[in-house]
C-alpha cells in the first residue's frame, strides 16, 4: 500500500522509490535480481501478460532462490494478481499511541478467542524467528554443523598440540630435570592452548570478514551481531582449551632420563 503514511511501506524505502511505485504499472526489483531477470532501471518488461516499467532498484532484499518483484497494490490489481476472494490475509495497523501496542494486542487476542492472533512488531519478529527454527530443517542443519565442527575442531587442535609437545619433548624433559614440576608444565600446555585459541579467533575474524566482503560484492548483506561473535569466539577458545586438556597426558613422556640416550 503506497498511500502516504501506510504502515506497509518499508522504512528504508526512499520517498522517490515510493513515489515511483505509486505510478500505474511500475515495479521495483532488488539489485540481486537484475542479472537474473535481464532488466535494469527504466526497462520495460512483461509481467503476467502486461507491460510494466522497472522504476526502482532496491538494496538489502537479496533474491537467493526466486526473484521477487515489488509493486503497489493498485498495480497488482491492474496486472490481475490481486486476491479478491472472501478470505482476509494478514493486516497491519498503526496506533496513534505506539506505547499501547502490547495492551491492544492482548485485548484483541482476548476478543478473538483463538480466531485470530495479534502481535506487536517485536512479537511478530520473534515469532517468525522461532518458527524458522521450530518448523524447518534449519535447526537440524545448524545443530549438526555445530556438533560436527566441535568434534573436528577438538580433534585437529588436539593433534596439533600433541605434535607440538612431542616435537619439543626434550625441552620439557630438560625443564623437569631442572626441577620444574608437572603442575607447571601442565600450566604451560594450557597457556599454549589458550594462545592457539586466540590465534584461531583472529583467523576466524579475518576469514569471516573476507566472506562478508564477498557477499557484499554480490549484494548479499550478512549481519554479524556482537553477542553472537562473542559466543563463537569463546567457543573457539573453549575448544582449544579442551584440546589442551586432552594433550596433557603426553607430558608423561618427558622423562629426564631420556636426555641421556
153 in the same domain as 74: no
Domain that holds residue 33: 1-78
C-alpha dist (Å) from residue 154 to 99, 120, 197: 49, 43, 11
154 in the same domain as 68: no
Average pLDDT over residues 1-20: 85
SS3 178: coil
Read off the pLDDT of residues 139-168 as tens digits, 9 standing for 90 and up: 788 788 888 888 888 888 888 888 888 887
- Output 92-99 pairs: Cβ under 8 A, ≥24 positions apart: 92/7, 92/8, 93/7, 94/5, 94/7
Whole-angstrom Cα distance, residue 79 to residue 45? 12
pLDDT in the model for residue 259: 52
152 in the same domain as 123: no
232 in the same domain as 200: yes
Read off the pLDDT of residues 178-218 as tens digits, 9 standing for 90 and up: 777 888 888 888 888 898 889 888 998 899 999 988 888 87
157 in the same domain as 107: no
SS3 27: strand
pLDDT in the model for residue 257: 59
Task: Look at residue 235 and tell me if it is in a domain.
Answer: yes
Read off the pLDDT of residues 25-64 as tens digits, 9 standing for 90 and up: 999 999 888 888 889 898 999 988 889 999 999 988 887 7
* Widest Cα–Cα separation across the chain: 93
167 in the same domain as 67: no
Task: Look at residue 191 and tell me if it is in a domain.
Answer: yes
DSSP conformation class of 253: G
Task: Look at residue 95 and tell me if it is in a domain.
Answer: no
If one counts the domains in the chain, the total is 3
Task: Look at residue 50 and tell me if it is in a domain.
Answer: yes
- Which tops the pLDDT comparison, 252 or 109? 109
Task: Look at residue 159 and tell me if it is in a domain.
Answer: yes
Query: What pTM was estimated for this model as a whole?
Result: 0.61
Task: Look at residue 90 and tell me if it is in a domain.
Answer: no
256 in the same domain as 142: yes
Half-sphere exposure of 181 (CA within 13 A, CB side): 3
Amino acid at each position: 500500500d503506497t498511500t502516504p503514511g501506510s504502515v506497509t511501506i518499508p522504512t528504508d524505502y526512499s520517498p522517490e522509490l515510493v513515489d515511483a511505485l505509486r505510478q500505474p504499472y511500475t515495479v521495483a526489483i532488488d539489485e540481486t535480481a537484475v542479472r537474473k531477470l535481464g532488466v535494469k532501471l527504466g526497462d520495460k518488461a512483461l509481467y503476467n501478460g502486461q507491460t510494466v516499467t522497472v522504476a526502482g532498484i532496491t538494496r538489502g532484499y537479496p533474491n537467493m532462490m526466486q526473484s521477487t518483484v515489488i509493486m503497489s497494490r493498485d498495480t497488482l490489481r491492474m496486472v490481475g494478481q490481486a486476491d479478491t476472494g472472501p478470505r482476509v490475509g494478514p493486516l497491519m495497523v498503526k496506533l496513534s499511541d505506539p506505547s499501547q501496542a502490547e495492551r491492544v494486542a492482548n485485548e484483541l487476542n482476548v476478543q478473538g478467542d483463538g480466531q485470530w492472533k495479534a502481535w506487536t512488531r517485536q512479537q511478530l519478529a520473534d515469532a517468525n524467528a522461532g518458527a524458522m527454527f521450530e518448523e524447518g530443517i534449519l535447526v537440524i542443519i545448524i545443530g549438526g554443523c555445530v556438533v560436527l565442527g566441535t568434534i573436528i575442531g577438538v580433534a585437529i587442535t588436539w593433534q596439533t598440540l600433541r605434535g607440538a609437545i612431542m616435537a619439543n619433548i626434550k625441552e620439557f624433559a630438560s625443564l623437569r630435570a631442572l626441577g620444574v614440576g608437572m603442575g607447571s608444565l601442565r600450566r604451560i600446555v594450557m597457556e599454549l592452548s589458550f594462545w592457539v585459541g586466540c590465534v584461531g579467533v583472529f583467523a576466524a575474524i579475518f576469514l569471516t570478514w573476507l566472506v562478508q566482503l564477498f557477499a557484499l560484492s554480490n549484494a548479499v548483506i550478512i549481519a554479524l551481531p556482537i553477542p553472537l561473535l562473542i559466543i563463537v569466539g569463546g567457543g573457539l577458545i573453549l575448544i582449544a582449551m579442551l584440546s589442551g586438556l586432552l594433550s596433557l597426558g603426553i607430558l608423561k613422556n618427558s622423562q629426564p632420563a631420556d636426555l641421556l640416550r
